[in-house]
Chain A
Amino acid sequence: MAKMRLTQAINAAYFEEMERNERIVLFGEDVEVSMFGDTRGLHAKFGSNRIRNTPISESAMTGMAVGAAMAGTPAICHLMFSNFALTGFDGIANQAAKLRLMTGGQARLPVTFVAAIGAGTSTGAQHSDTPYPMFMNLGGINIAVPATPADAKGLMKSALRGFNPTIFLLPRVRGATSGEVSEDPDFLVPYGKASVMQEGSDITIVAIGSCVHHAIRAAKALAEDGISVELIDPRTLVPLDTDTIVASVRKTGRLVVVDEARDRCSAASHIAAVVGDEAFSSLKASIKRVTSPNIPMPYAPALERALLPDPDKIVAAARLTLAS
């Protein structure tokens, strides 16, 4: 085990898997400099054939990543901020997510799109989105949203060993979170397997990405009042481990879902709908969602803070649920 930050864990995953499979390439804008630090050192190690700085051409980058993957070269396409996935959306939405089915299962698509998500540092509305709900709706692309360094490493390694298109979203403000990470070269985290971060009996809290850290604090606060929280991090939104979530709600009868995405058609609303379907008779109260409002993110820091999920909002939602 080694203690490292989330971005360092991703960096370690790139190093290990690129060493293991020498066909993997990685490209993106200024990946040699690496603003977030996750691609640092790769160019020095793997050289210009495999690590390439690209022009600012997201539509070409995403399309090329898919094409390279189809042709047998696993590609990591680094998009910096997830909002730039939107200028490169065709490669993700029309190509990566659709091609396997359209080719009757011929295409293998070992392509991994990497981008940072989330608000909280006053980067303005065009650099603050949490757009996984959009990707969840595409049909054919895996989505990883790690909250811990260990999961970040394991999920990245799994993506790079697999043959499915993946969008790997790193929570930006939590990039510096550190934790223990396995150094086993075959340490993998499976897709579609939620992590039960804490077992409990009174209420289930499902939290995604950076919201997991808010939920941990909320669970501590609730524990002081004798409330036992079961905390679940789905880790991947596609595939989504609904079994673990539903089983937990059958046990606790109460659910709060925490998701930084805008509320409308969020991951939270999807999870709430699934639980409503599958655990209706176990529910003792209506499901609560702690999400962001349905508006673009303002620049002013106090407003931004007020709009985002935080531990207090989770505690309040939990209490509402427990009161009914």
Chain B
Amino acid sequence: MSQPNTRHNSTPGSERLTAMLERMLLIRRTEEQLGADSRAGELPGNVHLCAGQEAIAVGVCNHLSDSDYVGSTHRGHGHFLAKGGSVRSLIAEVHAKSTGACGGLGGSMHVTDLSKGMIGANGIVGGGIGLAAGAALSAQVAGEGQVAVAFFGDGASSQGILPEVFNIAVLWKLPLILVCEYNGYSEFSASSTVNAGEIADRARAFGIPTDVIDGNDVEAVWTSAAIAIERARKGEGPSFIEAKTYRLRGHLEAEDGFLQAPYRSEEEIDQWRARDPIPQLVKRLTEMSAMSDADFEILEAKVAAEVKDALQFANDSEPPEMERVLSSVFVDQLP
């Protein structure tokens, strides 16, 4: 039997909310920079931006420490920064520089920082789900109360690996939090055309405690994640969170180059723009009298400076040498 998540009593509080706002803003402004770089033809590869979805990454990862794990997706910049990855290493990686998170060998779809428990963005849809479940297994074996989070999209929910992981995670009571970022689209297909029924019901069928939340409300995300993560830390097994959200940018920045016709209405985009998680959070903090316009401007300036510094850092960095590639294939073989 699946039990619905009961609402957690604790709330994040204004100080924590402010810290989360800063992270969300950092993700947004970093990605705006990368989007502009992409459109200007300054990036070697494509970028998938998560603008509009930042509250999910930040609300969940706010509970995690460096020893917890996050498995991510092709849309992974937000998860990377939310998990504590640095803006410098992110921007440098996407710009294919040796100082990037993966030395310029991975790229946007593979940003990883194992020192922060970020086990990677992933170019294979569904790939991160298996990796996160494996990290949860490792956490269980280590017995130190670590947890693992798998972020994945509504589209990825169609991969067989998801129900396979549901099953194993329940059987083994893995400390795994499965977070479906339901942004309504799988590439250019509306989710309703590629997903039968409710995705959350699939988790419920395995007896996994499940919560369907407003993913654009960082407080709701934070509260739901608090319960799921506590359960995992106590050894009570996996949880499933379906966070409803919307990506404000395209599937990939370059999509206008090949799309023959729009696949989303302007109206729909505008509706969701009005629900942008960042202004919503600013409004909430203002209502709590925890943030003034001046405070917000200071925050914006701080974030802008950080992004500017990171871009400068990336521009000043060298591309990777072939030596790095050749030494990155295997660890030294055992004697």
Contact = CB atoms under 8 A, between A and B. Distances in A.
Interface of A: 29-30, 32-35, 37, 40, 53-60, 83-84, 87, 121-127, 295-296, 298-303, 306-307
B62 interface: no
B106 A87 contact: no
Given A125-B110, A299-B96, 7 more contacts: A35-B258, A57-B160, A122-B44, A124-B108, A295-B329, A298-B320, A299-B104
Contact of A124 (B45, B193, B258, B319): B45
Interface stretch (B24-32, B123-131, B215-223): B123-131
Given A35-B258, A303-B320, A54 B194 contact: yes
Contacts of A307: 325
Interface string B96-107: 110000101111
A125 B159 CA distance: 21
Contact of B158 (A56, A121, A296): A56
Contact of A30 (B104, B188, B195): B188
B319 to A, nearest CB: 5
A295 B105 CA distance: 12
Contacts of B105: 298-300, 303
B263 A33 contact: yes
Interface in B162-194: 186-189, 193-194
B323 to A, nearest CB: 10
Contact of A56 (B46, B108, B123, B186): B186
B260 A40 contact: yes
Given A57-B159, A123-B46, A295-B329, A37 B258 contact: yes
A122 B44 CA distance: 6
Contacts of A84: 124
Nearest to A86: B124
B123 A298 contact: no
Contact of B187 (A30, A122, A124, A299): A30
B156 interface: yes
A184 B104 CA distance: 48
Given A56-B158, A57-B159, A303 B322 contact: yes
Given A299-B45, A299-B96, A124 B123 contact: yes
Interface residues of B, number: 41
B122 interface: yes
A149 to B, nearest CB: 19
Contacts of A303: 104-105, 319-320, 322, 325
A56 B124 CA distance: 10
B110 A83 contact: no
Nearest to A295: B329
Interface string B110-129: 10000000000011111100
A57 B158 contact: yes
B44 A298 contact: no
B288 interface: no
A53 B109 CA distance: 24
Nearest to A81: B123
Nearest to A59: B160
A2 B162 CA distance: 47
B104 A53 contact: no
Contacts of B106: 124-125, 299
Given A87-B159, A295-B326, A298-B325, A33 B123 contact: no
B259 to A, nearest CB: 7
Highest count of chain B CB atoms <10 Å: which of A30, A123, A299:
A299
B59 interface: no
Contacts of B319: 300, 302-303
B155 interface: yes
A60 B194 CA distance: 13
Contacts of A83: 123-124
A122 B158 contact: no
Nearest to B121: A124
B105 to A, nearest CB: 4
A124 B109 contact: yes
